Amino acid sequence: MKFLKSPLAFASTLALACLAFQPGAAFAQKGETVKIAWIDPLSGLMAPIGQNQLKSFQYMAELFNKNNPAGVKFEIVPFDNKVSPAESLNGLKSAIDQNIRYVTQGDGSGAAGALVDAINKNNERNPGKEVLFMNYAAVDPDLTNSKCSYWHFRLDADTSMKMEALTTFIKDQKDIHKVYIIGQNYAHGVQVAKYAKADLARKRPDIQIVGEDLHPLAKVTDFAPYVAKIKASGADTIITGNWGSDLSLLVKAANEAGLNVKFFTYYANNSGTPTSLGAGAAGRIYFVGYGHPNMGGPIRKLQDDFKAKFNDDFYVADIYTELQLLSEAMAKAKSTDPVKVAAALEGMRLKSYNGDIEMRKTDHQLQQDLWISVWQKTDAKNPYSVENTGYTFAPVAHYDAYVASTPTSCQMKRPS
């Protein structure tokens, strides 16, 4: 044991060895600040949701800044788009003027579509100033099919995937016979209705669609007339893509009119809605998503920290996935240049809080597990009290990524 004679020499050898093998130690991107333009609503009816997401982004950036594979610092720069496509483009323009190369958006596929178009043009016209778009919640399937773009990556499961999961669950619910579809009158509501009808016809042809309604987005204050109509139709189940106040008020009106039907929703966990669900809705409200409030594991600690800090729920968990993917891709590309990062993101596989995920190369649609959970009282297995209501969403079904995966028609144009 001659070489251990001098502890100092040993320590310095070890340090040298570590330095040589530590990945990224000498990489160019280390210590760089990556600004991400967050373009979503901070005012208007959907402001509560936007504020929650912004807080979640800032919180996640803080977390990743302490430690991430690329050694970069994330900085979130918010732009209020008032859920409007036109305002989103203004936000994008300001972001590009400020040399921000990463854009993230989620609330509303209309705004997402406008951003994709504008970013495609920008990247074509301004080589060396490309912008990358991380879409964390706009779920119109067109964005990864007919309108797919090399510069767009979607982290949420799209409408067709979520409907695939929902209808796989509905298939085995023998007490469902008559379904009513109600949605908001824009791209998302229309797509939900389309896929609901197609998937149910395939998996449960005996189910009858007894009615279909589209109502104005974020304008209806009184859903009682719709509920009376649903009641008159004899439906035992409602499928809705509604979010924000449109879901809260719908469920509330249904509770009051004694419409005791099942609800299959996309967004029952969004800010404000759990508060309006109440005890009357327990056991009847389902939501499909890439997670649920009782996942446990490392995400549980983040939820608790977030609640302690903001007294709010951390539920847009794919923000975690987004920063995880970005930092891994930056480490892999050894750069923060969006062109190299986009190439590194394609086909990237990771283990995230909700299991194994893959950024599908063909259309840039993240493949991940989906869960269906139901509104119920918190219990020992499902302890997380959503919006401090004493109720929670407890998982009732878990689908592996391949179950809900849907094919794509995307003909991706890659930069040569």
Task: Give yes or no for residue 252 binding other proteins (CB under 8 A).
Answer: yes
Task: Give yes or no for residue 19 binding other proteins (CB under 8 A).
Answer: no
Options 209, 214, 295, 397; binder of other proteins; rule CB under 8 A = 214
Options 59, 186, 226, 393; binder of other proteins; rule CB under 8 A = 226
Among the candidate windows 193-201, 267-275, 284-292, 318-326, which touches other proteins by CB under 8 A?
A: 267-275
CA dihedral sign of residues 180, 284, 304, 329: negative
Task: Name the minimum Å distance from CB 262 to other proteins.
Answer: 17
One-letter amino acid of 110: G
Report the C-alpha gap between 164 and 191 in whole angstroms: 13
Task: Give yes or no for residue 242 binding other proteins (CB under 8 A).
Answer: no
Taking the mean position of all CA atoms in its chain, how far away is CA 29?
Answer: 27
One-letter amino acid of 251: V
Options 35, 47, 190, 358; binder of other proteins; rule CB under 8 A = 47
Options 201, 224, 282, 396; binder of other proteins; rule CB under 8 A = 224
Task: Name the minimum Å distance from CB 214 to other proteins.
Answer: 7
The helix-helix angle for 318-333 and 338-345 (nearest 10°) equals 110
Report the C-alpha gap between 266 and 290 in whole angstroms: 11
Options 77, 257, 295, 343; binder of other proteins; rule CB under 8 A = 257
Task: Give yes or no for residue 190 binding other proteins (CB under 8 A).
Answer: no
Nearest alpha-carbon partner for 254 in 291, 289, 228? 228
| Number of residues binding to other proteins, judged by CB under 8 A | 35
Between 85 and 278, whose beta carbon lies closer to other proteins? Answer: 278
Site string (194-213) toward other proteins, x via CB under 8 A: -----------------x-x
Please give the C-alpha separations between residue 337 and each of 26, 77, 313, in angstroms, as whole numbers: 17, 18, 33
Site string (280-319) toward other proteins, x via CB under 8 A: ----------------------------------------
DSSP 8-state code for residue 365: B
Kind and range of the H or E run holding 152: strand 152-154
Task: Give yes or no for residue 178 binding other proteins (CB under 8 A).
Answer: no
Kind and range of the H or E run holding 24: none
One-letter amino acid of 178: K
Among the candidate windows 39-47, 197-205, 290-298, 407-415, which touches other proteins by CB under 8 A?
A: 39-47
DSSP 8-state code for residue 375: E
363-392 binders of other proteins (CB under 8 A):
389
CA dihedral sign of residues 379, 380, 382, 385: positive
Task: Name the minimum Å distance from CB 256 to other proteins.
Answer: 4
- Nearest 5 degrees, angle CA 122-CA 125-CA 127? 95
Options 225, 347, 383, 415; binder of other proteins; rule CB under 8 A = 225
DSSP 8-state code for residue 2: G
Task: Give yes or no for residue 219 binding other proteins (CB under 8 A).
Answer: yes
Task: Give yes or no for residue 175 binding other proteins (CB under 8 A).
Answer: no
Report the C-alpha gap between 354 and 296 in whole angstroms: 10
Options 4, 221, 351, 416; binder of other proteins; rule CB under 8 A = 221
Task: Name the minimum Å distance from CB 386 to other proteins.
Answer: 12
Please state whether beta strands 391-399 and 355-359 pair in parallel, antiparallel, or not at all (unpaired): unpaired
Task: Give yes or no for residue 45 binding other proteins (CB under 8 A).
Answer: yes
Options 82, 101, 154, 215; binder of other proteins; rule CB under 8 A = 215
Report the C-alpha gap between 334 and 106 in whole angstroms: 27
Helix (H, G, I), strand (E, B) or coil at 30: coil
Options 24, 48, 69, 355; binder of other proteins; rule CB under 8 A = 48
- Asked if residues 184 and 217 have their Cβ atoms less than 8 Å apart, the reply is yes
Report the C-alpha gap between 285 and 255 in whole angstroms: 11
Task: Give yes or no for residue 220 binding other proteins (CB under 8 A).
Answer: yes
Among the candidate windows 77-85, 130-138, 223-231, 317-325, which touches other proteins by CB under 8 A?
A: 223-231
Between 82 and 162, whose beta carbon lies closer to other proteins? Answer: 82
DSSP 8-state code for residue 143: G
DSSP 8-state code for residue 261: -
Among the candidate windows 116-124, 140-148, 157-165, 251-259, which touches other proteins by CB under 8 A?
A: 251-259
Please state whether beta strands 178-184 and 237-240 pair in parallel, antiparallel, or not at all (unpaired): parallel
Contact residues toward other proteins (CB under 8 A) are: 44-45, 47-48, 51, 211, 213-216, 218-222, 224-226, 228-229, 231-232, 245, 248-249, 252, 256-258, 271-272, 275-276, 278, 389
